[in-house]
A and B are shown apart, each in its own frame.
Chain A
């Protein structure tokens, strides 16, 4: 058995504010990331409720057109750049060193830098709301020329550029950290083909970040030069090109979708085996499919541009279809993992199953909009809104809750309440589907996205009212989660190292883990060292 020597292990860890601000401990940075991204989620969720309330009936005057544009711009920006992607970074920060048996990340100070850049990047975006002309209002995709200074005159747009730029650089830096850590800091016996699937998915995610995020950074710089330094990159009157923004943006933007989903494929791949009491089925297939998805996703960006008339639609359509294959492989692997298992429906598993059921519909509508003749109707309509919310809301968000319930005991040493958790699941699952299922029909019926009002005749008023009602059911679910955190924290019933009878190495240390993670490591002879340990002990007892 390998022992890790801990210099200074005798001094108790400090818990004052200064120690959190100055921390370079990956677990604390991970928790800071998670808490910050959840706070941004609360804000973005509140914005979405304002959006749904405005749209509860046609010709509503709750907010002005300008406020509405800021609402959906900040909602999209916060959900994508400040919640779904950084939550995964936080989870990876906490988990990767624990899962591979390392004492910390490869570059602890760089890690802290990334976190603070992410936090302040988000604050800079929101600071726009305090300026005279309000926050950015050109949508999370900020298409030029709309986002150019001639039209979007306010400082809010510049702050949006600066804030998103900070977040994108932070994401690149932290991805460098993940890849280096996994390649160099694995414990003895932890070969690449034994690292947990979540860690594999984070490697694929990090590679995507390297390829995609520089394109976003370049796009943002060009836009800033256009706005403030007299450039004309996107202005056709001076030889610029209005479509260029979209190319650079979606060259980042579609891989970004997978940056927001691959980590959660990893989460699901960790949870389903534990609650089925079986090893993950087709480990190699799941890992390879992650890289197939990552590779293919670099060649699909212009499926966001089928209606521009400026791209080769069949090529981008074809590559988009191919992504359905490795995604399908993962689904079949997860089902085969459950097959003939011993399935217990505790909250992490409930949310994982919710993920499977919802994400599947997002996948089906994804294959639909990958067909240009269908996309000609669906593009920029509520059908597209329904599609990507099934992927990121029904998919990623449910996996986020699964992850919170699953790893909460490891992070804080207490379990979240199961009864409240089950209620939280059902409220979110029902609320989500009531909100977003009708949006498919709204889109087919001709409702464009990003509108503050809609036709008062026909089916749109009824469909919108249903969707708004659903969003309030989701609110109750989220509030219940917050309540659960408070209640479970106050009761403070400590859990052991391994409350779920889990598989991977993070469950071999205490909950929460000590400052340098492990006082001793079990032997690592498969991708389930903790399972091996438990069964070796059982065999000895009975043997």
Chain B
């Protein structure tokens, strides 16, 4: 398995979230640079010098104060609208997903039950995923299809996280929540548990392998008949 420096944007939903990351990083850093600049400018410009007279004792400027309340308000409204639209696209679920997989997290491993078979499962082994002698459980998905993933847990809270999908969803006992993803990159991706669940939490990895749809059907039949 190849390890990338930066998460690959490996689903359709992930590209939406990636643009959210980019927009917020740019706006956030721009605001931060402006404010940092004002602070450092003030320090450099008005440093204390001995013998100086008392500075002007002004304490209010209502138009200015209203301005710096309203402008951030407008800015966060715009960010909220953008984030709302992005979330609506990311959280959208299809009425007819192509593949449905029920995911169960447990201490410390994962079971992936495909609707109509097969059931893949296994315990976690290493913090890396895939490079250890014992392979972690593998979730095999077809490229370009809508996948419905249903999350639950049979003991404590876990969280199904694939950093390359820029996405995680908690697996919580007593509830099942579902989301859709559409993988758009071939390859193997590391998955991890993101919610602390006890001793081997750090080792509770899995692998997501995205293959072509034809290959996926052959794999599915092969696993079921073996």
Contact = CB atoms under 8 A, between A and B. Distances in A.
Interface stretch (A19-27, A256-264, A440-448): A440-448
Contacts of B16: 373
Contact of A307 (B7, B36, B170): B170
Contact of A344 (B20, B32, B48): B48
A216 B3 CA distance: 42
Interface stretch (B54-62, B136-144, B217-225): B54-62
Q: Which of A69, A243, A325, A353 has the most CB of B within 10 A?
A: A325
Contacts of B196: 69, 138-139, 143, 146, 380, 449-450
Interface in B9-61: 16-17, 20-21, 24-25, 28-29, 31-32, 35-36, 38-39, 42-43, 46-49, 52, 54-61
B52 A342 contact: yes
Interface residues of B, number: 88
Interface residues of A, number: 87
A529 to B, nearest CB: 15
Nearest to B200: A65
A374 B202 contact: no
Given A285-B65, A335-B39, A340 B202 contact: no
Contact of A456 (B65, B79, B128): B128
A329 B80 contact: no
Contacts of B46: 276, 338-343
A16 B45 CA distance: 50
B33 to A, nearest CB: 10
Contacts of A360: 32, 35-36
A472 interface: no
Contact of A361 (B32, B55, B86, B192): B32
B81 to A, nearest CB: 10
Grouping DSSP codes into helix (H, G, I), strand (E, B) and loop, the B interface class, with mixed when no group exceeds half, is mixed
A167 B127 CA distance: 36
A107 interface: no
Contacts of A344: 47-48
A76 to B, nearest CB: 11
A450 B200 CA distance: 11
A278 B86 CA distance: 45
A335 B61 CA distance: 13
B134 to A, nearest CB: 16
B69 interface: yes
Interface in A126-159: 138-139, 143, 145-146, 151
Nearest to A527: B59
Contacts of A143: 156-157, 195-196
A329 B202 contact: no
A444 B7 contact: yes
A282 B72 contact: no
Contacts of A321: 76-77, 79-80
B43 A376 contact: no
B127 A455 contact: yes
Nearest to B47: A343
Interface stretch (A247-255, A309-317, A487-495, A509-517): A309-317
A373 B42 contact: no
A373 B193 CA distance: 18
B76 A324 contact: yes
B73 to A, nearest CB: 5
Contacts of A380: 159, 161, 168, 194-196
B148 interface: no
B5 interface: yes
Contacts of B79: 321, 367, 371
A309 B28 CA distance: 27
Contact of B32 (A277, A314, A364): A364
7 contacts: A69-B199, A277-B55, A307-B168, A341-B46, A342-B52, A379-B159, A450-B196
Given A309-B170, A446-B192, 8 more contacts: A282-B65, A325-B76, A342-B46, A373-B20, A374-B17, A374-B83, A455-B3, A456-B128
Task: Give 7 nearest A-B pairs by CB, closest first.
Answer: A236-B174, A446-B163, A309-B177, A451-B202, A364-B28, A344-B48, A371-B83
Interface of B: 3-7, 16-17, 20-21, 24-25, 28-29, 31-32, 35-36, 38-39, 42-43, 46-49, 52, 54-61, 64-65, 68-69, 72-73, 76-77, 79-80, 83-84, 86-87, 90-91, 107, 127-129, 131, 151, 155-157, 159, 161, 163-164, 166-170, 172-175, 177-179, 190, 192-203
